[in-house]
C-alpha cells in the first residue's frame, strides 16, 4: 500500500509547490522584480516564508517520485536515479540553507545555496536526456518518451541560456530565464509523476501486474495475461 502512495505524494507535492511559488510571487512585494531577481533572491527579499518551504516540498515530492518509479521497476537505475536524488536533496538542502538578502553582503550561506541550486538545475536535464532512450524501449513509459524528449531539449537550452546570462550576460533577465528553466524541469517531473500515477492507479493496474509477473517478462505476455 505504501508503494501506491508514492505517486499520490509526488503529484500532490509537485502541484502544491508550484501553486505556492506562483501565488507567493504574484501576491508578493510589488517592488520586487521577478524578471531580474532569481527565485532565491526574491525569497530572501520577501522573507521566504512560502517559497523556501515550497522548494523543500518539491524536493520531498521528487524523492517520492523516484521511490515510486523504482517500486514499479521503471528504467531509472544508474545515473538517472542518482541525478534525480541529487535534484531532490539539493532542493531540500537549499531550503534549509537559504540565500541572504542583497543588503547582507556575501555570506557562506549564499555561496552554499548557489552551489546547491546549480547542482539541482543541472541534474534534471541530464537525467531526462538519459531517460528518453530507456522510455522508448519500455512499453509502460513509451507514451511519455517523446514528451520527455522535448522537455529535456527545452531544459537543456534553458540551462545553456542561464549559464550565458549568469556569466557573460551579467545577470540580465536572469530571473526570467531561471523561472523558464525551472518550469521545464518541473514539467519533466510532472510528466513522470502523472504517468506513474496512471501505472499505479489506472483502470489496468499495470504496475502491480508487472510486479507480479516479473520485470523481465515481455509486455505481450503481460497483455495475454490480462486477456485471460
Residue 164 phi/psi, 5-degree rounding, is -65, -45
For the chain, the average pLDDT equals 86
49 contacts: CB under 8 Å, gap ≥ 6: none
In the prediction, which pLDDT does 99 show?
A: 79
CA distances, 121 to each of 12, 31, 66, 84, 226 (Å): 21, 27, 17, 11, 41
d(CA 138, CA 77): 13
Exposed/middle/buried for 177, CB within 10 Å: 0-12, 13-18, 19+? buried
Residue 217 pLDDT greater than 50, yes or no: no
Report pLDDT digits (tens) over 111-143: 898 899 999 999 999 999 999 999 999 999 999
In the prediction, which pLDDT does 59 show?
A: 97
User: Which whole number is the average pLDDT over 186-197?
Assistant: 97
d(CA 21, CA 52): 9
d(CA 41, CA 64): 28
pLDDT band, residue 146 (cuts 50/70/90): very high
In the prediction, which pLDDT does 34 show?
A: 85
In the prediction, which pLDDT does 214 show?
A: 46
- Residue 152 CA from chain centroid, whole number: 12
Residue 219 pLDDT greater than 60, yes or no: no
Residue 57 pLDDT greater than 90, yes or no: yes
- Look at 15 and 27; give whichever has higher pLDDT: 15
Residue 208 pLDDT greater than 80, yes or no: no
d(CA 145, CA 138): 9
Residue 68 pLDDT greater than 90, yes or no: yes
User: Which whole number is the average pLDDT over 168-174?
Assistant: 83
CA distance between the termini of the chain: 26
User: Which whole number is the average pLDDT over 72-76?
Assistant: 95
DSSP string, 52-77: HHHHHHHHHHHHHHHHHHHHTT-S-T
In the prediction, which pLDDT does 202 show?
A: 77
* Range from 44-53, 65-74, 117-126 carrying the lowest mean pLDDT: 44-53
- Look at 44 and 213; give whichever has higher pLDDT: 44
pLDDT band, residue 105 (cuts 50/70/90): low
| Element of type H or E holding 31 | none
pLDDT band, residue 1 (cuts 50/70/90): low
Contact 175, 34 (CB under 8 A): yes
Amino acid at each position: 500500500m505504501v508503494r501506491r502512495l508514492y505517486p499520490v505524494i509526488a503529484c500532490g507535492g509537485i502541484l502544491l509547490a508550484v501553486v505556492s511559488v506562483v501565488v507567493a510571487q504574484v501576491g508578493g512585494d510589488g517592488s520586487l522584480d521577478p524578471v531580474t531577481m532569481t527565485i532565491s533572491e526574491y525569497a530572501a527579499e520577501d522573507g521566504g516564508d512560502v517559497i523556501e518551504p515550497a522548494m523543500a516540498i518539491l524536493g520531498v515530492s521528487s524523492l517520492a517520485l523516484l521511490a515510486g518509479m523504482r517500486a514499479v521497476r521503471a528504467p531509472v537505475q544508474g545515473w538517472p536515479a542518482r541525478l534525480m536524488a541529487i535534484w531532490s536533496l539539493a532542493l531540500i538542502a537549499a531550503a534549509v540553507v537559504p540565500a541572504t538578502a542583497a543588503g547582507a553582503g556575501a555570506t557562506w550561506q549564499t555561496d552554499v545555496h548557489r552551489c546547491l541550486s546549480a547542482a539541482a538545475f543541472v541534474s534534471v536535464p541530464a537525467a531526462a536526456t538519459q531517460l528518453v532512450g530507456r522510455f522508448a524501449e519500455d512499453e509502460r513509459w513509451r507514451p511519455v518518451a517523446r514528451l520527455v524528449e522535448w522537455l529535456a531539449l527545452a531544459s537543456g537550452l534553458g540551462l545553456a541560456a542561464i549559464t550565458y546570462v549568469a556569466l557573460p550576460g551579467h545577470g540580465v533577465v536572469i530571473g526570467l530565464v531561471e523561472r523558464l528553466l525551472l518550469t521545464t524541469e518541473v514539467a519533466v517531473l510532472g510528466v513522470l509523476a502523472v504517468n506513474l500515477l496512471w501505472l499505479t492507479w489506472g483502470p489496468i493496474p499495470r504496475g502491480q501486474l508487472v510486479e507480479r509477473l516479473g520485470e523481465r517478462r515481455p509486455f505481450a505476455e503481460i497483455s495475454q495475461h490480462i486477456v485471460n
